[in-house]
Structure 1
Amino acid sequence: MKIPLFFAATALLAAPLHAKLTPPEARMAATVDAEYERSVALLQKLVDQNSGSMNLAGVEAVGKMVRAELEPLGFTVAWKPMTAIKRAGHLIATRPGKAGARRLLLIGHLDTVFEQDSPFQKFVRTGDKAEGPGAGDDKGGMVVMIAALRAMRAAGTLDAANIEIVLTGDEEDSGDPIALGRADLIAAGKRADVALDFEGLFVENGQDMGSIARRSSNSWTLKTSGKTGHSSLIFNDTYGDGAINELTRILAAFRTELPEPNLTFNTGIVAGGASAVLDADGVRATATGKSNVIPSIAIARGDFRTLSEAQTARVKTRMSAIVARHAPGTGAELMFEPGGYPAMAPTPGNRALLDRLNGVNKDLGLAAMPPLDPLRRGAGDISFVASDVDGLIGLGPASSGDHAPGETVDLASMRRQAKRAAILMTRLGTAR
């Protein structure tokens, strides 16, 4: 039985508070600096290969580039096709280490939000900044991961580490069913003792922040119905409120009755009238109607995000109760879509990992990283393993403008992030 990390927090924090870098750790830091331009060149190569989630060949091509970096480091690399969910696949790499060493799971993703028809396609560097699709999210994160592993090899600490890497090919637009698409990641989480997610570092007011939680992402669809007829008859006992008025009443009730800490909810698309239809993907709507006809149907689709699975269940119950109070002469149906992203709660074990990272920061001469408000992060792949293993998020580089043309990575941040990751993995990857 795996012992949760927070039970071992005292042991994790037992290292001397004022320890300096060991000779191997100093070697790792020096290697990261010496190979900085090599890392930037690799990032450019990855960015210049389009790998929008639906560019299946492009995602696989990026996977091959990463394979070429990992195999010389002693990893056994496999490609797991995901044709069953209409996605490219995932890259899974393993490197067994010293017997009894903690099992480290490293998480990232190969795909970006920028598809082949996006005008934003190329890496453009200006000093220690660079624009490019996925330069920060998450190709920069993969480069930090690889730079850290190279530094560990140079310092002689990689051989002892027991590492599994899962790089998904559809993090930005997951295939359906998501349970199939994340089955390999979930299985890896059950094998691991620590999970480290190499998505981007958050920086607030010049301060690097530590991330120990991610919120869930849950989609819902609300449909209301009403009795159609001439508009002069609306609100009477026979015709009632009409579908659109009932839909807006329910949405307004969500806004006034649902709010609680760490919860956000959003209505993303609405349609209603004599007819209303959402497309199969739920992102486009068509409707017909006239101003003098009571609408017979209305549809809304949105999401909500929570910090724990208990909060998710509570919010679903409250939303369902609001919908059940539909007005006379109307009907209402609320559907929660399967396959959302679970929550990663800020557990004691995750906090202990951040404490351990701050020990690394102290020895590197860097400021301590306070925990980031989870409202600042969206959903992510590490949440699929959060119920099984303690983890940290945000080991990738700092960036700005993610998911939009002009996405810019702070190249210099790759240095400190790779140093942090290499030393942290070395310290964690010892015998338990």
Structure 2
Amino acid sequence: MGRLSRTEQELIARAAASPMRERTLAWSAINSGTGNLPGLARVADLLADAFGTLPGTLGYVDPTFVERVAPDGEVEPLAHGRHLHLRVRPDAPVQMLFTGHMDTVYPADHPFQSVRTLPDGRINGPGVADMKGGLAIMLAALEAVERSSLSSRLGYEVVINADEETGSFSSAALIERACRGKVAALTFEPALADGTLAGARGGTGNFSLVVRGRSAHAGRNPEDGRNALVAAADLAVRLRNAAGPRLGVNPARIDGGGPNNVVPDLAILRVNFRPATLDDVERASTHLRSAVNMVAAEHEVEITSHGSFNRSPKPSSDKIKALQDMVAAAGAALDVSVGFAATGGVCDGNNIAACGVPVVDTMGARGGAIHSADEYLIPESLPERAQLAALTIVRIVEKGAP
């Protein structure tokens, strides 16, 4: 660490001394699945207490109105938890954005609820890596920066949303507002176990395709019916087979059907797209419209499409590359190897990049097996990544922009 100034050495010492492990364990002990509103409220209060030690204005932000298609084909409101928003020194010359999420993929009735230390020292628990550990790292870095002589030159916003795992539909507008005027952003999704960070990302789109046919007696007059379930299945196969790998089509679920002696008149196909580039988004849209029209005509059913491409692909850019270089240089100064690799996953980094703000979105803990009961956090990565984030932030402040 000979390439660190004395100020930087003091900075990273403060970052490493933060009680990140204790915070991660406490926050992970509370279920905060996206649909568990009481659990999200409890975690939000704990996070508000913790982040409330930072200067600025901290508050809860109500979720934007979101709808979903229910299993009966009707559109209904979908409730979400409140988001946390902190704004510090909005008039400072350098403005940055830091984001994370408090929700997990594990609902309140999921069997994976407790945190434990594995024999090899890793921590296994719901959200320990994705991303309660990342939130602890973010706070540690910001606390260290606030005690730096450079803090007066830095203004920033922190957004911790409650719906990232399901697409950030109720927080996208908040993130977009927070992006305004920012020179760079850091998001604290987990890095891979070996420390690799995400580079370019594909996009995503989620759709519910409501198929309405005509019911009839399955034995007496089936020819008078129009089988919505068969049409939905045909649509799923056409979407999957004709798309090609760049569109990343995944028909995930069909709701519908009924008694065996009734031709079903309703089915809902849930499908996810993972377009690799912005051009692929347009190709995916065209493919979806074409398949819907063909199936509707051939099966004589009505198909209504609900959904959107809610996260644009995040290709590499000169600004993003410059920010990645700054993170890598900070890592080199800490004797931490930092590499980047493209990924098909999506996160709020996609939203931020779409607003024109350069972002590195895997500044969180090293870990793995996320979205499963084997999710784990490598605890020694907590101080390591807090130091990396803090050093990156102050060097951006000194330079003014990536």
TM over 0.5: yes
Matched, 1:255 2:240: yes
Within-5 A mapping of 1:140-289: 140-173=133-166, 178=169, 181-203=171-193, 206=194, 208-221=196-209, 223=211, 225=213, 246-261=231-246, 263-270=247-254, 278=255, 285-289=256-260
State whether residues 247 and 299 of structure 1, in contact with CA within 8 Å, keep that contact through their aligned partners in structure 2: yes
Cα distance in 2, alignment partners of residues 159 and 266 from structure 1: 48
Cα distance in 1, alignment partners of residues 52 and 381 from structure 2: 25
Post-superposition offset of 1:298: 5.0
Post-superposition offset of 1:224: 6.5
**Which amino acid is the alignment partner of residue 314 of structure 2?**
A
Within-5 A mapping of 1:13-412: 20-35=3-18, 38-82=19-63, 86-96=79-89, 99-101=92-94, 103-126=95-118, 128-173=121-166, 178=169, 181-203=171-193, 206=194, 208-221=196-209, 223=211, 225=213, 246-261=231-246, 263-270=247-254, 278=255, 285-290=256-261, 298-326=267-295, 330-338=299-307, 340-348=309-317, 349-370=319-340, 372-375=341-344, 377=345, 379-388=346-355, 389-412=357-380
- What does residue 386 of structure 2 align with? 418
Q: Deviations over 1:128-181 (max 9, x none)?
A: 421222111111110010111122234433332211100012222468xx3x54
Q: CA RMSD in A?
A: 3.2
Cα distance in 2, alignment partners of residues 120 and 247 from structure 1: 33
- Secondary structure class of the residue paired with 2:156: strand
Q: 1:26 to 1:256 in 2, by over 3 A?
A: same
Q: 1:332 to 1:58 in 2, by over 3 A?
A: same
State whether residues 240 and 329 of structure 1, in contact with CA within 8 Å, keep that contact through their aligned partners in structure 2: no
Cα distance in 2, alignment partners of residues 59 and 294 from structure 1: 42
Q: 1:211 to 1:75 in 2, by over 3 A?
A: farther
Cα distance in 1, alignment partners of residues 394 and 303 from structure 2: 49
- TM-score, normalised to structure 1's length? 0.78
State whether residues 241 and 327 of structure 1, in contact with CA within 8 Å, keep that contact through their aligned partners in structure 2: no
Q: Deviations over 1:383-418 (max 9, x none)?
A: 233222121111111222222324211111122211
Q: 1:338 to 1:392 in 2, by over 3 A?
A: same
Q: 1:344 to 1:157 in 2, by over 3 A?
A: farther
State whether residues 231 and 295 of structure 2, in contact with CA within 8 Å, keep that contact through their aligned partners in structure 1: yes
Q: 1:173 to 1:254 in 2, by over 3 A?
A: closer
Post-superposition offset of 1:296: 5.8
State whether residues 211 and 231 of structure 2, in contact with CA within 8 Å, keep that contact through their aligned partners in structure 1: no
Cα distance in 1, alignment partners of residues 198 and 240 from structure 2: 31
- Secondary structure class of the residue paired with 1:59: helix
Gaps of 5+ in 2: 67-78
- Secondary structure class of the residue paired with 2:81: strand
- What does residue 5 of structure 1 align with? none
Q: Deviations over 1:180-201 (max 9, x none)?
A: 5432211111232212111111
Cα distance in 1, alignment partners of residues 144 and 122 from structure 2: 23
Post-superposition offset of 1:246: 4.6
- Secondary structure class of the residue paired with 1:156: coil
Post-superposition offset of 1:260: 4.0
- Secondary structure class of the residue paired with 1:354: helix
State whether residues 28 and 115 of structure 2, in contact with CA within 8 Å, keep that contact through their aligned partners in structure 1: yes
State whether residues 242 and 329 of structure 1, in contact with CA within 8 Å, keep that contact through their aligned partners in structure 2: no
Q: Answer with 1 or 2: which has the greater Rg.
A: 1
- TM-score, normalised to structure 2's length? 0.84
**Which amino acid is the alignment partner of residue 244 of structure 2?**
P
Percent of residue pairs identical: 22
State whether residues 167 and 310 of structure 2, in contact with CA within 8 Å, keep that contact through their aligned partners in structure 1: no
State whether residues 208 and 306 of structure 2, in contact with CA within 8 Å, keep that contact through their aligned partners in structure 1: yes
Q: 1:188 to 1:299 in 2, by over 3 A?
A: closer
Q: Deviations over 1:346-376 (max 9, x none)?
A: 1312222212211112222222413x2222x
- Secondary structure class of the residue paired with 1:337: strand
**Which amino acid is the alignment partner of residue 385 of structure 1?**
I
Post-superposition offset of 1:230: 6.9
State whether residues 115 and 125 of structure 2, in contact with CA within 8 Å, keep that contact through their aligned partners in structure 1: yes
Cα distance in 2, alignment partners of residues 229 and 81 from structure 1: 48
Gaps of 5+ in 1: 1-17, 271-277, 279-284
Q: Deviations over 1:103-131 (max 9, x none)?
A: 11101011222333333323223464212
How many residues align? The count is 385
